[in-house]
């Protein structure tokens, strides 16, 4: 039986509490790649009646649902009204219009509410539609809410969001990854995604660039996953005392694990000699699951220039890769990336915070 949770290595947990210990595992977004649908579209602007789990929360605009099996060329994937794009995965993706008069948004109820003070990784893929004359935007946003809501006609989301993706989102050939780390407030059950034309410090965000003042973006593969770096959680979100006589890890596909005990000299990328039990557990897991791939991501604090930090974070991720290769892991199964200081887990205004941000993360992939 195929499951997301890989159970080749097991924790032996002896729980003294009467509560049942559970953990939020896997992606909290249902129908995350838009494969499940109620009906295939036969024209434009039919997303509300087609898509399962998701909805378009604004009354001005309907959104687009694109599927490779669609009979009309207006709503196919390889060819549609706004251009063409191959789904990042599967056979479907969504489309949102951003215009001068209105903007379309996507909203979904999560499988579970986010847990207060826990950190989650948010990932959403977008691609700029390639129809001639369309414009671009330089910011996308995520808004979390306790309840679902609708946006009245001719209105937009104007509240400054806590999740901001800022960049040059012009790529019309490949999918662009939007990703960040979010610390939950504890009441988040619904996620709304789009581009918000809010004003902050006198600056209007989410402006449309181009002569037409009209943009269209494809969306695919959205995920919210708990960063599993602080132990099991109970049903009400509190950590229980457990006895763990075995230190092997039960890795979960797609989740992020922080290796914050790896030792490097300040400003250096060479992994210092030491006993690393978490790496021994990882080695054992990879040996038993040779068909899987490993993504290693390096991070730094904000001391130094952005260019040097990006290189240092990449070099530290590569140091871990070389360590694993020396231990017999196939080099082709290991991917590495360096994020520099762009995704902090804590503030950089104290040594304690900077220490938290200097880290190496791993994620198991197919």
Per-residue pLDDT tens over the stretch 37-61: 999 999 999 999 999 999 999 877 8
Residue boundaries of the structural domains of the chain = 47-226, 233-365
How much is the pLDDT for 74?
Answer: 94
DSSP characters for 138-203? SEEEEEEESS---B-TT----SPPSEEEES----SSSPEEEEEEEE--S---EEEEE----EETTE
- The rounded distance, in Å, linking the Cα atoms of 226 and 120 is 4
Question: Hey, is 301 helix, strand or coil?
Answer: coil
pLDDT 10s digits, 157-181: 888 888 999 888 999 999 999 988 8
- Rounded alpha-carbon distances, angstroms, from residue 269 to 164, 183, 322, 351: 30, 28, 12, 19
How much is the pLDDT for 159?
Answer: 81
- The rounded distance, in Å, linking the Cα atoms of 292 and 72 is 38
Strand partners, 50: none
How much is the pLDDT for 170?
Answer: 92
pLDDT 10s digits, 197-219: 988 888 888 899 988 889 999 99
Residue 233 phi, psi dihedral angles, 5° rounding: -120, 150
Which one is predicted more confidently, 238 or 192?
A: 192
Strand partners, 107: 55, 192
Q: Is the pLDDT of residue 9 over 70?
A: no
In the chain, count of helices (H) and strands (E)? 4, 22
Q: Is the pLDDT of residue 232 over 90?
A: no
Parallel, antiparallel, or unpaired: how do β-strands 64-67 and 334-338 relate? unpaired
Burial of residue 54 (number of CB atoms within 10 Å: 0-12, 13-18, 19+):
buried
Task: Say which residues have a Cβ less than 8 Å from residue 298's Cβ, sequence separation at least 6.
Answer: 312, 313, 314, 315, 316, 317, 318, 336, 337, 338, 339, 360
| Beta strands per DSSP E along 37-138 | 54-55, 64-67, 92-99, 106-109, 119-128, 136-137
Band (8; pLDDT cuts 50, 70, 90) = very low
Question: How large is the average pLDDT for residues 81-91?
Answer: 95
- Rounded alpha-carbon distances, angstroms, from residue 158 to 41, 46, 102, 151, 345: 31, 26, 12, 11, 27
How much is the pLDDT for 4?
Answer: 36
Q: Are the beta carbons of 357 and 344 closer than 8 angstroms? A: yes
Q: Tell me the CATH architecture of domain 47-226.
A: Sandwich (2.60)
Of 294, 284, 288, nearest to 327 by C-alpha is 284
- The rounded distance, in Å, linking the Cα atoms of 146 and 133 is 38
Structure tokens at 26: 């896997």
Q: Are the beta carbons of 338 and 297 closer than 8 angstroms? A: yes
How much is the pLDDT for 228?
Answer: 66
- The rounded distance, in Å, linking the Cα atoms of 335 and 315 is 13
Structure tokens at 317: 């991720």
- The rounded distance, in Å, linking the Cα atoms of 222 and 242 is 33
Q: Is the pLDDT of residue 336 over 70?
A: yes
Identical fold between 47-226 and 233-365: no
- The rounded distance, in Å, linking the Cα atoms of 258 and 244 is 19
Please tell me what DSSP assigns to residue 65.
Answer: E
Structure tokens at 305: 């220039």
Task: Write down the mean pLDDT value for the chain.
Answer: 82
Q: Is the pLDDT of residue 15 over 50?
A: no
> Of 1-10, 89-98, 277-286, 290-299, where does mean pLDDT reach its minimum?
1-10
Q: Is the pLDDT of residue 127 over 60?
A: yes
Residue 211 phi, psi dihedral angles, 5° rounding: -70, -40
How much is the pLDDT for 260?
Answer: 62
Q: Report the CATH superfamily, name and number, of domain 233-365.
A: OmpA-like domain (3.30.1330.60)
Task: Say which residues have a Cβ less than 8 Å from residue 74's Cβ, sequence separation at least 6.
Answer: 41, 43, 44, 80, 81
Question: How large is the average pLDDT for residues 121-138?
Answer: 94
């Amino acid at each position: 039986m195929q499951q997301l949770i890989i159970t080749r290595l097991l924790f032996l947990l002896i729980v003294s509490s009467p509560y049942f210990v559970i953990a939020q595992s896997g992606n909290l977004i249902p129908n995350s790649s838009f494969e499940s649908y109620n009906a295939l579209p036969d024209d434009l602007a039919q997303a509300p009646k087609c898509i399962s789990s998701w909805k378009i929360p604004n009354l001005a605009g309907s959104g687009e649902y694109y599927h490779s099996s669609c009979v009309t060329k207006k709503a196919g994937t390889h060819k549609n009204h706004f251009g063409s794009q191959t789904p990042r995965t599967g056979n479907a993706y969504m489309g949102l219009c951003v215009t001068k008069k209105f903007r379309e948004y996507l909203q979904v109820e999560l499988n579970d509410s986010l847990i207060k003070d826990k950190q989650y990784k948010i990932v959403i893929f977008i691609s700029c539609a390639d129809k001639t004359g369309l414009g671009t935007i330089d910011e996308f946003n995520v808004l979390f809410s306790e309840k679902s809501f609708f946006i009245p006609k001719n209105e937009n989301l104007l509240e400054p969001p806590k999740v901001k993706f800022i960049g040059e989102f012009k790529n019309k050939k490949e999918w662009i990854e939007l990703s960040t780390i979010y610390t939950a407030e504890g009441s988040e059950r619904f996620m709304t995604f789009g581009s918000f034309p809010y004003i902050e410090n006198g600056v209007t965000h989410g402006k449309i660039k181009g002569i037409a003042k009209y943009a269209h973006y494809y969306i695919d593969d959205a995920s919210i996953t708990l960063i599993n770096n602080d132990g099991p959680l109970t049903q009400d979100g509190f950590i229980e005392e457990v006895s763990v006589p075995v230190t092997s890890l039960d890795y979960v596909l797609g989740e992020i694990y922080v290796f914050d005990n790896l030792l490097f000299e300040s400003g250096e990328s060479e992994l210092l000699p030491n006993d690393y039990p978490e790496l021994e557990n990882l080695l054992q897991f990879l040996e038993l699951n040779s068909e899987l791939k490993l993504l290693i991501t390096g991070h730094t604090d904000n001391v130094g220039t952005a260019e040097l930090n990006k290189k240092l974070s990449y070099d530290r991720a590569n140091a871990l890769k070389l360590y694993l290769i020396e231990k017999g892991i196939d080099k082709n199964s290991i991917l590495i990336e360096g994020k520099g200081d762009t995704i902090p887990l804590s503030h950089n205004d104290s040594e304690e915070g900077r220490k938290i941000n200097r880290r190496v993360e791993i994620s198991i992939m197919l």
